[in-house]
Structures are given as C-alpha cells and as structure tokens.
Amino acid sequence: MSELDTNAAPKYENVDLRVGGERIPPGSRRRIEIPVARLFTGTWLSLPVWIVNGSQPGPSLFLDAAIHGDELNGMEIILRVLDRLRTDRLKGAVIAVPVVNVFGFVQKDRYLPDRRDLNRSFPGSTRGSTAARLAYLFMTEIVARCQYGIDFHTGSHDRSNLPQIRARLSDPETRRIAEAFAAPMIYEAKEIKGSLRGAARKRGVHTLVYEAGGPQRFDSDVIDTGVEGTLRVLHELGMIGSAPEPGASSFEAGKTRWLRAARSGILYLEAELGQRVKKDQLLGQVAPLFTGRRSQIHAPFSGLVIGATMTPLVHQGDALVHLARRA
Ligand SMILES: [Zn+2]
C-alpha cells in the first residue's frame, strides 16, 4: 500500500451535494432515481443513483457499471462497496450508479435498443439519440460532481478478461490510484473516442476502467478483486481509514495482441487467464469438426494471458487469446 499523502491533495470543503435535483447534506446517504426516458408503454425508465456523502470533507469519486447492459460484475462490486461505507467515517463522497445502461440491462443486452453503444456516445447531448441523452445526463449529474471515477466493465460476447486496470498511467494522479487498486494487470490505454473515460478525462476527472471477467454472469474472484481494489483507491484518496492489503504487485503491460483462429473448428484452449507464458509456448489448438489437421496457437512473445474466449466453437479469424507483453 502506498503511503497516504493528504498534503498533495487539493483542499476540499464539506458541502451539500446536489444530484438529480435533490440535496444530500454531509453525513447522509440517499438512493435516488433520475428519470431517463419514457418507454413506449408510458412507464418512466430511471437511473438509480446511490450517494454517500461523508460527514468529513474529501474528494468525490463516482463508481459506475453496466454501461454495457449485460456486464454484471461491476454492479455487484459497487453494491458490496456501498455496504462497506459509513457516512460518519467517510471523507468526501461516493456517487454510485451500479447500472448505467438501464435500457440494455432489462434486455440483458450490451447496447441500447437502437443498437448504439453507450460507451461510444459520450459526452452526449440533449438532442441526440437515446444513448447520447443518457450519456449527457450521466456527465452532468454524476461526472461533473467528481474528481475521480472508476468505470467497471467485463469482456464482451464470449470473452473473459483477467482483472485489469486500463488508464492514462502517464498522468501521475491517475497512475497513483491505478497502482493503489493493485489489479493483477495494469496498462496505459488511450481513451476510445466517445467513451466515458475519454469524456471524463476532458473534464479533468481521473478515471480508471476495471475490465474483469465476462458478461451475463457473476465471476466471484473478479468481484472480490474489484471490491478490494476499489477500497484501496478510497484509502489512497484518504476517504476511508483502512483497506485490504494487496496481493502480488500488478503486471504492467506494454503491447497486447489478440491471437486469432487460423481456421474454423473446435477450440481446445490450454492457456488460462493469468498464466505467464513463454515465446513459442503452445496455447491451444483448433480441430476441424470432422477431418483435417489441427492448427496450433503458439505465443508470439513471452507474456501474460489477459483475455480469452470462453466458447469452444470458433470461426477463422475469431479472437482466441489476448496476450500482453511486459511494459
Ligand atoms: Zn463494457
């Protein structure tokens, strides 16, 4: 655990928070619903927001998950972190949105009903698509009130990720909280255009993305790692008094590469998430369904397995194993 350096942090004041038109005074906890859109049934769809405003001054941190509506690990991480926070002990505020893409969430779907990707729609606008409006609401109601943030994701489709932090490590303050999180892997990742992380950075909000596990399920190890890492960030920011000690130090990745299927067939994966592999090591094989030669997947360089497909049925060109080289 790095040493707590409150002298370097800006001075904060004890203030009422205003979210969704409601006032949340210091030392209080509220759950509010911000209306997002009326469905064609006439029912209002709303964004559930938890606000824990500590009794003492400190920074504000947002936590959000399910920007992709089928990514559930982050939701559980946030709910467990909220359980651990006490208003009388917290310095600063946590503004938490366990499910951002409420449209996708109810459909168990990654996207918005019009197939837009919410994480390509930031910072959004008041007159754009449903995705753009939801992004704008999130920026103005949540991100604008914070100095720090953690955005939780999982692998998409059939893929699962080793728990990892993606962030602008070249920014010292962002690196400080990324290292405090102490995920198994961290790496410098430029923001994707339209992503929440990119829009938050433009507002000067230091934001981490935690990518871990796969969609449509709870991965218990990944959830534990996420809860502990988030508590360590809160501790690093001086918001809570103690946090779990980290295990091994993070693997800092440089270049990463997805290894793809040379042919279609059944995948026999030998590599596991989190495994250290040597150059030329056999990572798996793809066997044709009926006859023919197996194709082998070898590591093009020594590194760490940080992502993998979870399905044994693959087409030529499908991404199979995500390998990271040490920075
Ligand atoms: Zn995602």
Chosen domain end from 183, 212, 236: 236
**How far apart, in whole angstroms, are the C-alpha atoms of residue 227 and residue 233?**
10
Per the structure, the count of domains in the chain is 2
Q: Which domain holds residue 186?
A: 6-236
Q: Please tell me whether residues 263 and 212 are part of one structural domain.
A: no
Q: Which of 321, 272, 277, 282 is nearest to 302 (CA)?
A: 277
Strands (E), 185-264: 185-188, 206-213, 251-260
Residue 147 DSSP SS3: coil
CA–centroid distance, residue 309 to ligand 1 (Å): 15
pLDDT confidence of 3, banded at 50, 70, 90? very low
Report the pLDDT averaged over residues 172-184.
97
Give me the DSSP letters along 246-267. Answer: P-SPPEEEEEEEEEE-SS-EEE
Specify whether the CB–CB gap between 298 and 260 falls below 8 A: no
- Of 180, 204, 236, which residue constitutes the final position of a domain? 236
* Chain segment 66-106, per-residue pLDDT in tens: 999 999 999 999 999 999 999 999 999 999 999 999 999 99
List Cα–Cα distances, 198 to 50, 86, 93, 210, in angstroms.
23, 31, 22, 14
Q: Tell me: the pLDDT tens digits for 205-236?
A: 999 999 999 999 999 999 999 999 999 999 99
Rounded distance from Cα 216 to ligand 1 centre (Å): 12
What's the whole-model pTM score? 0.94
Clarify whether residues 65 and 90 are in a common domain: yes
Mean pLDDT over 131-152 rounds to 97
Tell me, yes or no, whether 245 lies in a domain: no
Taking CA atoms, 82 is separated from 62, 73, 179, 226, 312, in Å, by 12, 14, 22, 13, 37
| Distance from Cα 288 to the centre of ligand 1, integer Å | 32
Q: Are 224 and 317 contained in the same domain?
A: no
Residues with CB under 5 A from ligand 1 (ion): 68, 71, 153
Q: What is the DSSP string of 50-99?
A: EEEE-SEEEEEEEEEE-SSTT--HHHHHHHHHHHH--TTT-EEEEEEES-
The CATH number of residue 299's host domain is: 2.40.50.100
In a domain, 111, yes or no: yes
| Residue-level pLDDT at 8 | 54
222 Cα to the center of ligand 1, angstroms: 15
Q: How far is the CA of 114 from the centre of ligand 1 (A)?
A: 17
